[in-house]
Amino acid sequence: MEEEAPGLIAWLTVRNHRFSTGLYWRRGVFLDHQDHQALLELKSAREVLLCVRGRSPYYLFGLLKDSVERIIELRWPSLRYDFEIPCPHREADGRGCAGRFRFESVKKALERNLRSLQCGECLENKDVSLLLVGFAIQGEPLQHTLDKLITMVGEIKQDEGRMSEYVRRVLKAVTTETQECPRLFTLSPVEGTRWDPRQLGQVQYELQLWCEYSGHEHPVEKGKYMITKSKEWLVRLAPFASLVAKTLKIAVPLLGPSLDVAIGEELVKGVKPQLEMMEKITSSLLEGELKLDVQRGDFGGGLTQAQGSGLREFRSLLGEIDRTQTWGGLRRVFTPAGDYLWVCGEHYREFDPGLPVLPAVQRIEDQPSH
């Protein structure tokens, strides 16, 4: 880094607490995730070491590299820095080479089909793929396979980007009506109640609020309420509920990445049935399909009159069933893109990590040797 970033290790310790081993000190933290171990350590005032070991280290390495970039972006947006890969060469006496490769230069070499780069210190040629992912790629067939995988990942990322943008546009349109309460939810008959359109308004429903964090939308376990409303009220809610159901069906394929944010696996399993049930309910109440082209993400600048009316019914309902307005722990944040979101406590830390408090633990250098 061109300048010192005070407190960087403390912020990284807080941000990656889900991988915590309980072992951290002033200048570093030791992490563990699915049989992989990682070390983040401040080597000097302007240098941080990130090291990951395991059978497939590049996955955890990517997560932690992203967390470093994200923290710097949030806390020190003008700080200039560079990622460097240490040369893996070892001398006969075991000493490591002091040479380094710029991460961006190695990526460019791979894009230009260069097989190796020469280290400026030991003058040895090092395999580009070995530098990037920790193992050398042998032979052309495997290289072709890697190229295909990279292309597939790129296409998936593009789809995720389009889906996230659609969800963002819907929420932005809803924001023009209200910023005072969460907007994403599922509505379904309570567990064990058989679905019967003729009983609309005669059974109890379960209302489940969702975290709106972009790309990681998910149900909030504590944001669950039991309600009983008339069919007439459900009819008024239906246009907005249908819009929310369609929006969540787009967001659900993105749930995979959010599993590492401590939302329960059982909670995720119940999402798709809830959405299907919500669509059944709303389609039974609506005379026709809403004019919404999901594939093109063709969504106008605001809600229809019916959708706006349904949103107001929903906002009034939340005020009735949760007068403390805790809403399952959801908190409103203002994003750098200029949007309002209601997010869970886990994702709230992305916007306000709070002051890092590191409990006193036994220092590594003080621990007895074995």
Per-residue model confidence (pLDDT) at position 214: 78
pLDDT tens-digit map of 219-248 = 888 889 998 888 888 888 888 888 888 888
The answer to whether residues 188 and 307 belong to one domain is yes
Predicted confidence band of residue 190 (pLDDT cuts 50, 70, 90): confident
- Three-state SS letters, the chain: CCCCCCCHHHHHHHHCHHHEEEEEECCEEEEEECCEEEEEEEEECCEEEEEEECCCHHHHHHHHHHHHHHHHHHHCCCCCCCCEEECCCECCCCCECCCEEEHHHHHHHHHCCCCEEECCCCCCEEEHHHHHHCCCCCCHHHHHHHHHHHHHHHHHHHHHHHHHHHHHHHHHHHHCCCCCCCCCEEEEECCCCCCCHHHCCCCCEEEEEEECCCCCCEEEEEEEEEECCCHHHHHHHHHHHHHHHHHHHHHHHHHHHHHHHCCCHHHHHCHHHHHHHHHHHHHHHCCCCCCCECCCCECCCCCCHHHHHHHHHHHHHHHHHCCCCCHHHCEEEECCCCCEEEECHHHHCCCCCCCCCCCCCCCHHHCCCC
Angle at 132 between CA 130 and CA 134, to 5 degrees: 45
- Note whether 133 and 173 are same-domain residues: no
279 in the same domain as 341: yes
Query: Both 190 and 322 in a single domain?
Result: yes
In a domain, 156, yes or no: no
Residue 289 has pLDDT above 50, yes or no: no
130 shares a domain with 32: yes
**Claim to verify: residue 82 and residue 126 sit in the same structural domain:** yes
Residue 12, domain member (yes or no): yes
**Is 60 exceeded by the pLDDT of residue 216?**
yes
Q: Answer yes or no: is 355 within a domain.
A: no
| Last residue within a domain, chosen from 80, 107, 140 | 140
79 within some domain: yes
Residues 112-142 have pLDDT tens digits of 888 889 998 889 898 887 787 664 444 444 3
Q: Are residue 319 and residue 211 in the same domain, yes or no?
A: yes
Average per-residue pLDDT in the chain? 76
Q: How many domains does the chain have?
A: 2
The residue-averaged pLDDT of 163-168 equals 71
Same domain, 198 and 100: no
pLDDT at site 356 = 58
The type of residue at 64 is L
Residue 367 has pLDDT above 60, yes or no: no
In a domain, 85, yes or no: yes
Backbone angles phi, psi at 293, to 5 degrees: -85, 95
Instruction: State yes or no: pLDDT of 261 exceeds 70.
Output: no
**Which carries the bigger pLDDT value, residue 55 or residue 85?**
85
| For residues 153-180, average pLDDT | 68
**Which residues, including other chains, have CB under 8 Å from residue 39's CB and lie 6 or more apart?**
28, 29, 30, 31, 49, 50, 51, 52
pLDDT greater at residue 247 or residue 294: 247
Residue 174 located in a structural domain? yes
Residues 350-357: contacts with CB under 8 Å, at least 24 apart: 350/70, 350/74, 350/213, 353/11, 353/14, 353/15, 353/74, 354/14, 356/7, 356/10, 356/11, 356/13, 356/14
Q: How far apart are CA 192 and CA 361, in angstroms?
A: 49
pLDDT, position 159: 61
CA angle 191, 197, 198 (to 5 degrees): 110
Residue where a domain stops, chosen among 76, 105, 140? 140
**β 185-189/205-211 pair status:** antiparallel
- The 8 Å CB, 24+ separation contacts for 363-369 are 363/25, 364/23, 364/25
Predicted local confidence at residue 14, as pLDDT:
84
Mean pLDDT of 170-188: 81
Q: What is the pLDDT of residue 364?
A: 52
Residue 232 lies in a domain: yes
Summarised one tens digit per residue, pLDDT across range 308-343 is 888 999 999 998 998 888 988 999 988 776 778 899
Write down the pLDDT at residue 318. Answer: 92
Domain identity same for 134 and 68: yes
Residue 283 domain-assigned (yes or no): yes
Whether residue 81 is found in the same domain as residue 49 = yes
* CA 227, 228, 233, 239 torsion-angle sign: positive
Cα Rg of the chain, angstroms:
25
b/e sequence 343-367, b meaning 16+ C-beta within 10 Å:
bbebbbebbeeeeeeeeeeeeeeee
pLDDT of residue 354: 62
For residue 258 the two structure tokens come to 């959010």
- The answer to whether 330 and 342 have CB atoms below 8 angstroms apart is yes
Cα–Cα–Cα angle for 322, 311, 292, rounded to 5 degrees: 140
Residues 214 and 78 in one domain: no
> Quick one: pLDDT at residue 259?
39
Instruction: In whole angstroms, give the CA distance from residue 14 to residue 31.
Output: 12
**296 shares a domain with 178:** yes
Q: In the predicted model, is pLDDT for residue 157 greater than 50?
A: yes
pTM: 0.50
Q: What's the pLDDT band for 283 if we cut at 50, 70, 90?
A: confident
Tell me the range of 80-84, 161-165, 251-255, 360-364 where mean pLDDT is highest: 80-84
Residue 43 belongs to what domain range? 8-140
- Which position has the higher pLDDT, 69 or 265? 69
Higher local confidence (pLDDT), 25 or 140? 25
